[in-house]
Amino acid sequence: MTAMRQPTILMCPPEYYGIEYEINPWMSRARGAVRETAQAQWRMLYETLLGLGVRVELLTPQPGLPDLVFTANAGLVFKNRFISSRFRHEVRARETPHFDAWFASHGFQVEHLPEGMYFEGAGDALFCGPILFAGYRIRSDALAHQEVGRMIGKVVLPLELVQGHFYHLDTCFCPLAPGEAIWYPPAFDAYAQRVIRSQIPRLIEVNDHDARRFGCNAVVIGRTVVVNTGCGQLTEDLEQAGYRVVTTPLDEFLKAGGSAKCLTLRLDGEEAAVWDG
Ligand code: ARG
């Protein structure tokens, strides 16, 4: 059993959320988000997490930063350290000062990677046990992941992402517990598939349909998994594996290429992470 601690998550209300540019295949300015629906869906996720006993910290929304809601990309949290992202796209790089300021004022040590390498935080770097699994090529660089591994003294396994629709690791891979994860194999190159299969004994494969519903982009709180609606097979498989599944509609955020997980950043360590030992 995990120690008694209250899960803590950073979120950012979708005050200025919208589809204002196109930096991944899900985004189309012609198919904008419906503001009221997005706000209602975000609120439902927020309340679902509160209902699960999560303490949610809120970042102040900023005009002109429509993707600031995707706090998973702020950086990587490791204990009291915050390794700030270096976004590939300038439109998102403008979020960094806001994330850095929040972490600095909340007792975290804010650290930056050398210039000239890209790293998109928890969107591309997820612990499963003591190993940091790291997606690269589309957003983050393999070199940046090595640098992160050196900074925190952890083993990093770089995984090449090969499908544009699954451009961040958290769109196709979700650690549930040490040794257990959800994943969508076609999003990875053959070698990355081998790495995942060899390192994680209990794997739940997500089918094409549920992957496109962002089933892998789930938030894990204890033995409960919060996921977008419409992931029927995954829901069944998770329940079979002993998890409780809570579904909540997040279609307005799929339009930006995000879902439950991207809208959150765990501040006290993910359920699957083993930071010591
Ligand atoms: N529109 C955002 C982007 O393309 C979505 C980010 C989703 N975040 C994630 N961790 N997958 O950067």
pLDDT digits (tens, 9 = 90+) for 191-216: 999 999 999 999 999 999 999 999 99
pLDDT at 5: 81
168, 174, 216, 231: which one is catalytic? 168
Average pLDDT over residues 128-157: 98
Q: How many residues does the chain have?
A: 277
128, 172, 216, 262: which one is catalytic? 262
Atom of ligand 1 nearest to the CA of 257: 5
- In the chain, helix, strand, coil percent, each to 5? 30, 25, 45
**Alpha carbons 163 and 148: distance in angstroms, whole number:** 24
Residue 2, pLDDT > 60, answer: no
Average pLDDT over residues 53-62: 98
pTM: 0.97
Residues 215 and 182: beta-carbon distance below 8 Å: yes
pLDDT at 1: 46
Average pLDDT over residues 48-57: 98
Ligand 1 centroid to Cα of residue 258, in Å, is: 5
| Ordered structural domains, the chain, with CATH | 8-266 (3.75.10.10)
Ligand 1 centroid to Cα of residue 42, in Å, is: 15
pLDDT at 277: 64
Rounded to whole angstroms, what are the CA distances from 133 to 80, 136, 158, 200, 232? 20, 10, 6, 11, 26
Residue 66, pLDDT > 80, answer: yes
Task: Among 4-8, 24-28, 108-112, 231-235, name the one with the lowest average pLDDT.
Answer: 4-8
Residue 3, pLDDT > 60, answer: no
